[in-house]
Amino acid sequence: MAVERKKILLRLDPGVHDALARWAADDLRSTNAQIEFLLRRALAEAGRLPSGVGKQRGPGRPAKGDEDE
């Protein structure tokens, strides 16, 4: 069963947004996925990522048959 994802409004400096969007494109992610990737990495490095948090899907399109993961 899929867990419903939380939605938030995030205000960013336009330059920060543009840099994130370019980085996301380089990594074959959406800007949203890049932000989540960076937040997860920061939480893990700080020892604050909860153990029950699901794994984030990798960059790029999902392989056939993996769409539901």
Reduced to 3 states (helix: H, G, I; strand: E, B; else coil), residue 61 is: coil
Residue 69 lies in a domain: no
Query: pLDDT tier at 69 (50, 70, 90 boundaries)?
Result: very low
Residue 7 lies in a domain: no
pLDDT greater at residue 16 or residue 62: 16
Residue 63 lies in a domain: no
Q: What is the pLDDT of residue 1?
A: 62
Q: What is the pLDDT of residue 3?
A: 76
Instruction: Pull the structure tokens for residue 45.
Output: 């490095």
DSSP string, 22-50: HHHHHTT--HHHHHHHHHHHHHHHTT---
Q: How many domains does the structure of the chain reveal?
A: 1
Q: What is the pTM of this model?
A: 0.74
Q: Tell me which residue range forms the domain holding 27.
A: 14-44
Could you report the per-residue pLDDT of 46-65, keeping only the tens digit for each?
A: 999 998 887 776 777 777 77
Residue 62 lies in a domain: no
